[in-house]
Amino acid sequence: MRVFECMVVFAIGMTFASPAAAQCKAKNIFKKIKACAADKSGTGQGLDADTLQRFKPSDIKKEAVDEAVGKANEAVGKAVSDAVAAVVPTLTAAIYRISGQGPLDPSPPPPSTEITYTARGLKCNDTNDVLLSCGGAVVGGFVTEIARRSAANCSTPDRDCCVVAGGNLGSTEGTIRIDVACLSVP
């Protein structure tokens, strides 16, 4: 709007400088400016100071921000993908499994109704290693517990362990099987 006012002042000033020639020039300039400045209809004729090629400043800003965010997301996604691709083989190579089994203590023969429970534990190879999962089964009996225990509750209190406990009815022989997965940490 400030440009429009300056142009009008210029046109009026030209009129006073050389009355005849300047008046014609000033009228023509004024008509052109007026035609440009008057367009708010969005028809594409003239100058609309609120938009640039029919885009409002907020639209231009939004488009620029969206494009920058899109490029940043793409770059971060690629960096994460590359990092995962580099780390996953190393991690999977560091995971190992251990299995163990032991006899299930037999319960006293009938007519006794007493059940003997047996617990077996298994731990990772090294004190630095991390116990990832704990599982097991009882063959020839039933499971009463499959649990990961903290080091303080294991037979060797220097690392976590996996405990599988079970029992059997009668004097049948059974087996407790324990499976652990560990992550080797140097």
**28-48 pLDDT, tens per residue?**
766 766 666 555 555 555 555
Distance spanning both ends of the chain, measured CA to CA? 72
How far apart, in whole angstroms, are the C-alpha atoms of residue 185 and residue 125? 11
Q: Whose CA is closest to 128, among 97, 151, 108?
A: 151
User: Would the pLDDT of 171 be above 70?
Assistant: no
Whether 178 and 99 map to the same domain: the answer is yes
How far apart, in whole angstroms, are the C-alpha atoms of residue 165 and residue 163? 6
Q: Which pLDDT score, from 0 to 100, does residue 156 have?
A: 73
How far apart, in whole angstroms, are the C-alpha atoms of residue 84 and residue 97? 23
State the DSSP code for 50.
T
Mean pLDDT in residue range 3-15? 57
- Boundary-marking domain end, from 34, 50, 66: 50
- Boundary-marking domain end, from 50, 66, 86: 50
Choose the weakest-confidence range: 51-55, 70-74, 153-157. 51-55
* Per-residue confidence band for 5, with pLDDT thresholds at 50, 70 and 90: low
- Whether the model clears a pTM of 0.75, i.e. scores above it, the answer is no
Mean pLDDT in residue range 69-93? 84
100 with 122: CB under 8 angstroms?
yes
Domain count, the chain: 2
Q: Which pLDDT score, from 0 to 100, does residue 180 have?
A: 92
Residue 13, domain extent: 2-50
Does residue 80 form part of some domain?
no
Does residue 31 form part of some domain?
yes
Whether 99 and 46 map to the same domain: the answer is no
Alpha helices in the chain (DSSP H): 2-17, 19-37, 57-94
User: Would the pLDDT of 4 be above 60?
Assistant: no
* Per-residue confidence band for 70, with pLDDT thresholds at 50, 70 and 90: confident
Q: Whose CA is closest to 182, among 97, 55, 91, 106?
A: 97
